[in-house]
Structure 1
Amino acid sequence: MGPKGTGWKSTKLGGHDRSHSFSHATPDSAHYLIRQTLSKLSVESFQHPGFGRHYKVDVPAGPLELIEGQAKPKHLLGEWMSTAICANDILSSVIYTSGLVSATAGVLAPVCLFIVAGVLHLFKSIYCEAISALPSNGGSYNVLLNATSKSVAALAACVTVLSYVTTGVVSAASAIAYLHVVFPQVHLVYGTVLLLLFFACLTAFGVSESARVAVGIFALHVLTLTAVCLLSSVYVAFNSATLHANIEAGYPDVILAGGRVRGTFWTALFFGVSTAFLGVSGFETSAQFVEEQVAGVFPKTLSNMFGVTVFNPLLCVLSLGVLDIDEVVTFKDSVLAHVVRRVGNWLQIELLGVHGGGAHLGSLLMTWVSIDAFIVLSGAVLTAYVGITGLVRTMARDRCLPQFLLATNRNGSCHNIIFGYFLLGSSLVLLMGGDIEVLGNIYTMAFLCVMIAFAVGVVLLQAKRLKLPRDITTPPLTLALALLAVGTSLVVNVAFKPEILVYFLLYLGCVLALVGLMFERVRLLKLVAHVVDKWSPRSRLAAWVQLEVQRVLDVPCVFFCKRDDLYVLNKAALYVRNNEQTQRLLIVHATSNPFSDTITGLSEHATMLCAMYPKLSSSLVTLTFPPGHETFSGALIEWFCQEWDVPRNMCFVTCSNSVKVKISELGGVRVITH
């Protein structure tokens, strides 16, 4: 394997007889390792990739300048457009949270929602640290991928996939529930499936999120919620009896591990807080498209989202001031519509003095709120489709998921991902009968797992990637409190609805099984090849299996190294062996002096790696900077990837404070060692 261009030459590491380097300077220890390696390759010699080469490449100035010109900033999203996309997610959950939390916490529901807002404040610094250190899309998957092993990152990604599935399903079911208020003939279950199908087709035809449309939806929704708060406040000011009655009603009983437990202050607080996390789901959205935001906007979006969470406890208090708590629980799927209907009827009769005849103000307000809820919840469904497409596409490119998911139609949409998501979501709707409470519990579990993964990722960044520059460092106490809060809430959710855990694990297991097959596919294919070879050694199936194994293993990994350090090179080789399915490692060193001692040492150590790890062919690539471009940059990496036909996400770097360029400027490379 070599570059597609010209002006390069290669020398086989170890010489013609694989015993000497190109400079004939291989040390005696390397000679011994090479002889020992060659003597052990008799059994699986057909699988041995061979020793690497030393490629010497002069980087041309012209293509590099062209790439630098093309890399000029594209149109990025500002503060309010970014906030609108995220806030639509978090504000859509406000619509159905009050009723669900009141069912478990009773009159303590507003307090529980306020406590969750405080926990969210803890996570603000956690998210800011992670994104300032690694400003790339992908959320917790990207953080863990750069801080620990690929398998751990893939586990977090699987939980995120489930979170996207459940957020789409809950949003669609809630949208249909509000539409059902206006049009009772709409079937809740089949309507939800049809809404999911509608947005699947819409996304497959190339329609995606529009920041301007998101701003419009956000403005309309904030206006609607503000109007609901103002009108309900007037009602409660004149009619406080309902609120007082709800306060005196006590705390609802809870079902714990299949048995009924008498409601107390503590049961209401614990189970209410664990349920209330559903009201802030969507907080992680901004981390999924940070690359599309103007620099410095990400922390502002988190602050703005923290600000809009004021609607959660406020609307919950007002709901308890307008409706009896039993009514709040009964109408939990569309509680705001019923709140404004009662408020509107009261305003029409008591303040306006209009009795009967014509349209009722309550019905008009209920229709307005229901249509607004349907619009913003439908927007959340579209966000879920866009988000899951981006995440699964990233995982497929990282070879965590099958490559057929990357197939696109003529509109450029990944239709296999889109309709696969639709099938998963629809099956969940049909299995749960469209029950928003049950679906919400599954969603809460997934969301809490995502939050835990993000916090754990920051802990690992502080422990293993401390040299990565970042704008903020989260205090250990903040990390501990955040992990304790979400961890406790997850345990309480499982104890509260243990039967929900079965469905959670079922869907998570399906995604994990697919990822596991991808991680073990080479071993499985080799097992198939062994069985086929015994029965029919010259069959087409045997040939196909061997070709498929070779195709998987021939995709190289690239490690960009600044200096000759055998310890770091060995760690890179071990990382590739333990995390990637490949038999080729390209060690790339960019320099202005192609005859330096560093290159001689790198060549010797690349030869040693070939001998130490016979199933991994380590080649050295020396890139000579063109005049005027003596800086390691993202443009150089992009040129190398194009020239050698290497996926960008298979490029790795070390975490070193001596590299003057920021990780964000290298464009998606992975940090694998320190």
Structure 2
Amino acid sequence: MSAPTLGDDTETWIAIDPITRPDPASYTHSPANPPSFLESQVDGIILRRQRQRPQGGGGLKHSASPSSRFLNLSRDFEFAGWGSFSKMKLTVEEPAEEPRAPKLLGQATASALAGNDVLGGVFYTLPAVLAVSGVYSPIALFAATLTPFLWRPMMEELASAIPISGAPYSYMINVSRKTLAILGAALLLLDFTASSVVSAATAASYLDGEVDLPFPPFVAAAFIVATFALISLSGLKESARLAFVVLSLHGITMLILSIFAAIQWSQIGNAQLQQNWHMGSTASPSSILRQIFYGFCLGMLGLTGLECTPSYIGRIKPGHFPLVLRNLHLPAIVLNTLMSLLLIAVVPLSVLLDGANVLSVLAQEVVCGVLIGILGVCELLKKLAHDRVVPTMFLNPLPLTGAPYVCVLFFMLCNVVMYASSGGSLTIVSNMFSLVWLTVMVLFPVTLLQLRFNRGRLPRDTRTPLSVIFLSLVVAAVVFAGNVVIEPSTVGYFAAYLIAVLSVFWGTQHKVQLLGIVYWVYDQYPTLHRWDASKTWGKWLVGLMARLKRQPICILVKTDEINHLLHMILYVRENEETSCIKMVHFCGDEEDGEGIPSELEANAKILDEAFPEITIDLIIVQAAFTPANVGLLARRLQIPTGLMFVSCPGPRSRYPVAEFGTRVISL
């Protein structure tokens, strides 16, 4: 059947008419209206194997698949038991010890956590920018500090859509595949670790230049990291207060320094500025543009810390995140431009280029970059532990403060490994840090594009123009290339560290697969079986794989459309290591079951048979779909809310996704 031709220049489109089927309303069977032969045949095909399943679930699924890949392990190991159908009523039974509600941060304390890193960034970058840009450094730094005007609206849109700590990993896990989210987590871990190492090592280096330390600089760096690790164990709120005090001292110090420099400038006039200009200026326009471009690329690193703010967004009071970004960005514009201009106006250019203690105040300011690194990693690792990417021991808190001490100790270990593997070279870590930071900043526009395409229905307060998103990608690519041109060796270090972290995360994410490979090797060598006569190691490996696969995942479904249910199950199979899925439907308070979709039970049974390696249990919850009830269900099933998956809520949703704490996995 051909559709009408749209015009002389257009091709003819062929449309296939749908097969005419009976109206579903006519499927009402009764003695007076028995089912037709076609209906009986279809029902028989669907239900034939379902009658073989145990009434209450359980029992191993049977399959005609080939034998097991293991020599001494039955193929039954590859298959799960039949799912069950049950109904549940939620009662308001609070746990014996209610978890402590997190204390929210206002814009002042929230700004202070990242503010010391952002405002202290001028001391990271100023010597490097002066080395490549000379007298054009103020222009280069000013241009670099304008780039967050591209990133701020994107970060605000993402934060309003998914205000969950651990971002941008938490953004990516909700808008894309888990593999890409783990890549983002690896970059974040490198960013936080490199920021901490660079901060501590640079501060120790400048302290060593100012005073005669009785020990090597790396000992001072380790002492700085350990000190801030102890501070972070006091809790986020207390760390934020300390950061606010340090930021206040930082601001006062910069203000006094600026005032005295301005007074000096007024006393000596423009003589030093003119001398530096004549000494450092070039006649070639291409040379001037090259100097400014290189300074612009390096000056972007003066904004490090801005990417850390979404990592603790769940602890910031609602509506304050845009204010936090503003509080971090605008002072950075003034500080970076003003400090570079004052230096060129009052200090001879030869002294600046020799690096003669231009940054003597660095040791007093930059160490707080260690604090924001620790806090950012703690939020990231806790989110990864909830998602079973890393072991749950990372969630263990201190009894008094609730601080995740395992996360802090792990972060200290990461600092030691990175600093030691670089041979204690601050240059190597700094070069690697520049590319890591730029790549992390790319995550924001990339994630926002995925949010627009994959989760377009997700409610949010603001919308960033697409032109801004694409422009930010271009800027990031240009700056990345510029840093590589300035120091080509940075690519090698960046790739080496990233591959190392990704390898660890891949292993923790594919534990069952790795254990299966180990068991397969064990299975292939009879010598190992003779040595392990009681099969202790083999039984232990099989038992460990079975325990890991039994860890349940919950999908919260609203409809009985089998295509929608299939896509959710496929997501679980491709992204999580589990053989147990709890399919849950909240039907409201109706006792007669009128709120249950008519085909939900039948479709759940079909899918349970379609995936012999997964047990699919259907649970009907007689309660309203609210954040409180989802929390009660999570405690009842002993499944973290981060492993309870939902489809994307629309603009009419009564509750934002952050209140549920669930993961969005479909459009």
Fold conserved (TM > 0.5)? yes
TM-score (norm 2): 0.83
Match of 1:455 in 2: 445
Match of residue 636, structure 2, among 639, 643, 648: 643
Residue 498 of structure 1 aligns to a residue whose secondary structure is: coil
**Between 115-124 and 34-43, the greater mean CA deviation after superposition:** 34-43
Letter of the 2:640 partner, please give it. P
1:30 alignment partner, one of 46, 54, 77: 46
| Residue 297 to residue 204, structure 1, CA distance change in 2 (3 Å) | closer
Which residue matches 2:89?
58
Single out whichever of 139-148 and 523-532 deviates more from structure 2: 523-532
Cα deviation, 1:151-207, whole Å, max 9, x if unaligned, reads 100001100100001110111123223433542336433321332233345546779
- The residue aligned with 1:16 is none
Q: Is the 8 A contact 1:52 1:618 kept in 2?
A: yes
Shift of 1:556: 1.1
- 1:165 equivalent in structure 2: 193
Q: Which residue of 2 aligns with 1:4?
A: none
Structure 1: how far apart are the matches of 2:115 and 2:236?
Answer: 20
- Asked whether 1:89 is paired with 2:101, we answer no
Of stretches 187-196 and 220-229 in structure 1, the one that deviates more from structure 2 is: 187-196
Give the alignment of 1:615-630 within 5 angstroms.
615-625=613-623
In the aligned structure 2, how far is the partner of 1:430 from the partner of 1:204?
A: 24
Unaligned runs of 5+ in 1: 1-23, 253-260, 338-369, 626-630
Cα distance in 1 for residues equivalent to 2:352 and 2:90: 68
Contact 2:634–2:641 (Cα < 8 Å) also in 1: yes
Deviates more, 1:141-150 or 1:608-617: 608-617
8 A contact 1:87–1:308 mirrored in 2: no
Comparing 660-669 and 602-611, the one that deviates more: 660-669
In structure 2, give the amino acid aligned to 1:189. F
Q: Cα distance 1:40–1:311, how it changes in 2: closer, same or farther (>3 A)?
A: same
For the Cα contact (< 8 Å) 1:208–1:382, is it kept in 2? no
Q: Residue by residue, what CA displacement relative to the aligned partner does 1:46-80 show, whole Å, maximum 9, x if unpaired?
A: 331122111200122x33xx58x979975422121
Structure 2 unmatched runs, 5+: 1-39, 54-60, 68-74
1:275 touches 1:441 (CA, 8 Å); kept in 2?
no
Query: Cα distance 1:662–1:105, how it changes in 2: closer, same or farther (>3 A)?
Result: farther
Give runs of aligned pairs for residues 147-186 of structure 1, distance below 5 A: 147-185=175-213
Change (3 A) 1:538 1:381: same
Mapped pair 1:324 → 2:348: yes
Please tell me whether the aligned partners of residues 232 and 239 of structure 2 are also in contact (alpha carbons under 8 angstroms).
no
Residue in 2 that maps onto 1:228: 257
Counterpart contact for 2:89–2:621, Cα < 8 Å: yes
Alignment map for 1:441-452 (pairs within 5 Å): 441-452=431-442
Task: Give the Å deviation of 1:478.
Answer: 0.4
Residue 243 (str. 1) matches residue 273 (str. 2): yes
Q: CA deviation at 1:416?
A: 4.2
Alpha-carbon spacing, 1:402–1:77, altered in 2? closer, same or farther (3 Å):
closer
Where does residue 524 of structure 1 map in the other structure? 514
- Partner SS, residue 554 of structure 2: strand
Separation (CA, whole Å) in 2 of partners of 1:499 and 1:27 = 66
Residues 1:383 and 2:372 are matched in the alignment = yes
Written as runs of structure 1 = structure 2, the 5 A alignment for 1:337-486 is 337=360, 370=361, 373-407=362-396, 413-432=403-422, 436-486=426-476
Distance in 2 of aligned mates of 1:327 and 1:83: 34
Q: What is the identity, as a one-letter code, of the residue corresponding to 1:226?
A: L
Tell me how far 1:651 sits from its aligned partner.
Answer: 0.8
The DSSP-based 3-state class of the residue aligned with 2:585 is strand
Distance 1:312 1:588, change over 3 A: same
The one-letter code sitting in structure 2 at the alignment partner of 1:565 is E
> Are the counterparts in 2 of residues 33 and 608 from structure 1 also a CA contact under 8 Å?
no
Residue of structure 2 aligned with 1:494, choices 484, 499, 504: 484
SS of the residue corresponding to residue 284 of structure 1 reads helix
Q: Is the 8 A contact 2:198 2:429 kept in 1?
A: yes
* Structure-2 change in CA distance of 1:405 and 1:58 (3 Å): closer
Query: Retained in 2: the 8 A contact 1:86–1:283?
Result: yes
Q: How far apart, in 2, do the equivalents of 1:485 and 1:307 lie?
A: 20
TM-score, structure 1 normalization: 0.83
Which of 651, 662, 667 matches 1:669? 662
User: Following the alignment from structure 1 to structure 2, what is the Cα–Cα distance between the partners of residues 448 and 74?
Assistant: 31
Seen in structure 2, the aligned counterparts of structure 1 residues 507 and 115 have a Cα distance that, compared at 3 Å, is same
Amino acid in structure 2 at the alignment position of 1:667: F
Is 1:109 aligned to residue 99 of structure 2? no
**Cα distance between partner residues in 1 of 2:237 and 2:219:** 24
Answer yes or no: is 1:540 the counterpart of 2:560: no
The answer to whether the Cα contact below 8 Å between 1:217 and 1:375 also exists between their aligned partners in 2 is no
Q: Distance in 1 between matches of 2:384 and 2:101?
A: 25
Q: For each residue in 1:273-301, what CA deviation from the matched residue of structure 2 results, as whole angstroms up to 9, or x when unmatched?
A: 11111100001222111111111000111
- 1: CA distance between counterparts of 2:413 and 2:85? 49
Q: Which residue of 1 aligns with 2:338?
A: 314
**CA shift in 2, pair 1:570/1:325, >3 Å:** farther
Q: Which moved more, 1:218-227 or 1:409-418?
A: 409-418
CA distances 1:619-643 after superposition (whole Å, capped 9, x unpaired): 1110002xxxxx4211111101111
Q: Displacement of 1:263 after TM fit?
A: 8.5
Identical positions, percent:
25
> What is the Cα deviation at residue 110 of structure 1?
1.6
Instruction: After TM superposition, list the pairs within 5 Å mapping 1:200-219 onto structure 2.
Output: 200-203=229-232, 209-219=238-248
**Which residue number corresponds to residue 17 of structure 2?**
none
Give the distance between the partners of 2:405 and 2:111, measured in 1 at CA. Answer: 28
Alignment-derived partner of residue 324 in structure 2 = 301
Counterpart code for 2:344: L
Look up the equivalent residue of 2:645 and give its one-letter code.
Answer: F
Residue 162 of structure 2 contacts residue 658 of structure 2 at CA under 8 Å; is this kept in 1?
no
1:9-48 matches, within 5 Å, as 27-28=43-44, 30-31=46-47, 38-41=62-65, 43=67, 44-48=75-79
Residues 658, 600 of structure 1: alpha-carbon distance in 2 compared, 3 angstrom cutoff: farther
Task: Tell me by how many angstroms 1:611 deviates.
Answer: 1.9
Aligned equivalent of 2:579, options 559, 577, 583: 583
1:107 is aligned with what amino acid? V
Alignment of 1:70-89 (within 5 A): 75-89=103-117
- What's the CA shift string for 1:248-289, capped at 9, x where partnerless? 23469xxxxxxxx99812321222111111100001222111
The number of residues matched between the two structures is 599
Contact 1:196 1:426 in 2 (8 A): no
Counterpart secondary structure, 1:622 = strand
164-173 vs 319-328, greater mean Cα deviation: 319-328
Change (3 A) 1:32 1:107: farther
The 3 A distance-change label for structure 1 pair 287 and 233 is same
State the secondary structure of the residue aligned to 2:82: coil
CA deviation map 1:25-45 (0-9, x unaligned): 994453468699834257322
Deviations 1:513-550 (A, max 9, x none): 10111233212211222333443385011111111111
Are the aligned partners of 1:251 and 1:268 in contact in 2 as well (CA < 8 Å)? Answer: no
The 8 Å contact of residues 50 and 617 in structure 1, kept in 2 or not, is answered as: yes
1:437-484 deviation line (CA, Å, top 9, x unaligned): 543322221111111011100110011111000011110000011111
Q: Map Cα deviations across residues 209-246 of structure 1 (whole Å, 9 max, x no partner).
A: 53322222111111111111121122223332322233
CA displacement at 1:573 relative to structure 2: 0.5
Task: Check the 8 A contact 1:632/1:661 in 2, yes or no.
Answer: no
Secondary structure of 1:466's aligned partner: coil
TM-aligned CA deviation for residue 134 of structure 1: 0.3
Alignment of 1:537-576 (within 5 A): 539-576=535-572
